């Protein structure tokens, strides 16, 4: 028997409920980027230039920041790199780019942060890998020196544990303990435990040394989607530090993008994660900004944040007569992205705009009506005309060879009228 509508319950919206974490404040020239607590999920990225080349590094940091990266990490691996850091900061300040810089330290961070105070001061946050700070008693002393530098300069710290550079002494201890269990755990489960223990215990040690718990962000990166999900679910239960999410060594192109999006989306949907980085290997000739584009698309697809107007486009099928609609979809997408820096200033709220570009009459009118402005191109056998829908109603029909430019003009006019009006209220 078919149930009557009056007997049914409304279907709940699917909205992630963020797990409340402590909020870190990452400061740069008086501008503060908050991470955790009620702050939006932040996007971060990492340069792949030689930090010693201060000009090239500053240019790439600027590009990443303009693409939407709210924090940018740079490698600080040698005295020369540490010396370059204040110059990179200076150049960014001169260009009006106030994105906080994070120093990525391994092996010699204790020395670099102590011997190069200008570097320690110019950075806004330090990344410390507890698996790469030395062994035995040296480890505690060197870790302590880095935390003391952070406390002295009032910087935030990410304690970033990585599957590939796990604290071997801790892992060996846990393996020994596991072998004494009546029913030993799977080796992978011991690895999970080692990752989480290393991060949480290091954070507790950092607090004992004098760093405020709010200024600590944790990460436990692995390269497998299911491993990442398992580890972060448990990590978020064991602490309330802000969490940095990322799949390490995600890989290139489609594989890296899909793996990162899958892993991050599962966790973000469960409310886990305060800042994300998508670790893509750029394909030859590909811009480093791609990792920022993918990170923004993940957050926008999950409706956690909005950055650019969304373009709904059908995939096309045997009903489409040409590539016109593919070109139009790409053209409109590129056009919206290119105009956003200017529109953001003049038309507040423009990032919520929804545009539809559809291939034929089957879903074209319906999907276009759901968008703020949509166009339904003619499919095979349809009259060579493209109806345009604005705010759910058919307003006009475009014809001719320059439908693309006509539609662009309409989109721009719609934005000016709707969002320009909002800014004048």
Known binding residues for [4Fe-4S] cluster: 314, 317, 360, 367
Nearer to ligand SF4 by Cβ, of 224 and 316: the residue is: 316
Nearer to ligand SF4 by Cβ, of 316 and 349: the residue is: 316
Q: In whole angstroms, what is the distance from residue 40 CA to residue 21 CA?
A: 12
Nearer to ligand SF4 by Cβ, of 262 and 363: the residue is: 363
Site string for ligand SF4, 306-325 (x = CB under 6 A): --------xxxx-xx-----
Q: Are 126 and 113 in contact (CB under 8 A)?
A: yes
Nearer to ligand SF4 by Cβ, of 130 and 379: the residue is: 379
Comparing every residue's Cβ against ligand SF4, the nearest one is 359
What region does 398 belong to: left with phi over 0, alpha with psi -120 to 50, or beta? Answer: beta
Which helix H or strand E contains 344, and what residues bound it? helix 324-346
Straight-line distance from the first to the last Cα atom of the chain, in angstroms, rounded to the nearest whole number:
53
Q: In whole angstroms, what is the distance from residue 62 CA to residue 89 CA?
A: 11
- Regarding 360 and contact with ligand SF4 (CB under 6 A), the answer is yes
Among 100, 246, 256, 359, binds ligand SF4 (CB under 6 A): 359
Q: Are 320 and 386 in contact (CB under 8 A)?
A: no
Residue tagged 């692995």 (tokens): 222
Site string for ligand SF4, 376-395 (x = CB under 6 A): ---x----------------
DSSP codes joined into one string, 254-305: HHHHHHHHHHHHHHHHTT--SEE---EEPPTT--TTHHHHHHHHHHHHTTS-
- Regarding 364 and contact with ligand SF4 (CB under 6 A), the answer is yes
| Residue numbering of the annotated binding site | 314, 317, 360, 367
Provide the minimum distance between the beta carbon of 149 and ligand SF4 in the complex, in angstroms, as a whole number: 57
Q: In this chain, which stretch among 150-158, 207-215, 355-363, 396-404 interacts with ligand SF4, using CB under 6 A?
A: 355-363
Q: How many residues make contact with ligand SF4 (CB under 6 A)?
A: 13
- Regarding 276 and contact with ligand SF4 (CB under 6 A), the answer is no
What region does 121 belong to: left with phi over 0, alpha with psi -120 to 50, or beta? Answer: alpha
Which residues contact ligand SF4 by CB under 6 A? 314-317, 319-320, 358-360, 362-364, 379
């Amino acid at each position: 028997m078919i149930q009557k509508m009056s007997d049914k319950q409304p279907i709940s919206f699917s909205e992630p409920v963020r797990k409340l974490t402590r909020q870190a404040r990452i400061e740069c020239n008086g501008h503060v980027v908050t991470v955790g607590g009620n702050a939006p999920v932040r996007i971060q990225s990492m340069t792949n230039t030689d930090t010693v080349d201060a000009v090239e590094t500053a240019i790439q940091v600027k590009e990443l920041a303009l693409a939407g990266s709210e924090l940018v990490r740079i490698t600080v691996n040698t005295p020369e790199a540490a010396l370059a850091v204040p110059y990179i900061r200076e150049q960014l300040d001169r260009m009006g780019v106030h994105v906080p810089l994070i120093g990525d330290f391994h092996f010699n961070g204790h020395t670099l942060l102590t011997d190069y105070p200008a570097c320690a001061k110019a950075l806004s946050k330090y990344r410390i890998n507890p698996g790469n700070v030395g062994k035995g008693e040296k480890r505690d002393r060197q870790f302590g020196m880095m935390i003391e530098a952070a406390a002295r300069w009032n910087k935030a710290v990410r304690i970033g544990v990585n599957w590939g550079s796990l604290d071997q002494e801790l892992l060996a201890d846990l393996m020994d303990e596991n072998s004494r269990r009546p029913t030993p755990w799977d080796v992978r489960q011991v690895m999970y435990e080692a990752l989480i223990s290393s991060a949480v215990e290091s954070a507790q040690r950092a607090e004992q040394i004098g760093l405020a718990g709010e200024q600590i962000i944790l990460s436990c990166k692995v390269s497998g989607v299911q491993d990442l999900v398992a580890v972060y679910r448990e990590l978020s239960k064991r602490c309330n530090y802000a969490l940095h999410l990322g799949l390490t060594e995600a890989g290139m192109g489609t594989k890296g993008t899909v793996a990162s999006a899958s892993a991050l989306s599962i966790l973000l949907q469960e409310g886990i994660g305060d800042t994300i980085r998508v670790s893509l290997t750029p394909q030859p000739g590909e811009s480093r900004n791609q990792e920022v584009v993918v990170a923004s698309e993940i957050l926008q697809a999950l409706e956690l944040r909005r950055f650019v107007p969304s373009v709904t486009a059908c995939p096309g099928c045997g009903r489409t007569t040409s590539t016109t609609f593919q070109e139009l979809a790409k053209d409109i997408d590129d056009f919206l992205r290119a105009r956003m820096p200017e529109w953001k200033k003049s038309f507040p709220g423009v990032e919520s705009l929804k545009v539809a570009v559809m291939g034929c009459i089957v879903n074209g009118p319906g999907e276009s009506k759901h968008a703020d402005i949509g166009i339904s191109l003619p499919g095979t056998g349809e009259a060579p005309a493209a109806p345009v829908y604005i705010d759910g109603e058919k307003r006009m029909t475009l014809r001719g060879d320059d439908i693309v430019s006509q539609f662009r003009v309409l989109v721009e006019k719609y934005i000016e009228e709707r969002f320009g009006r909002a800014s004048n209220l």
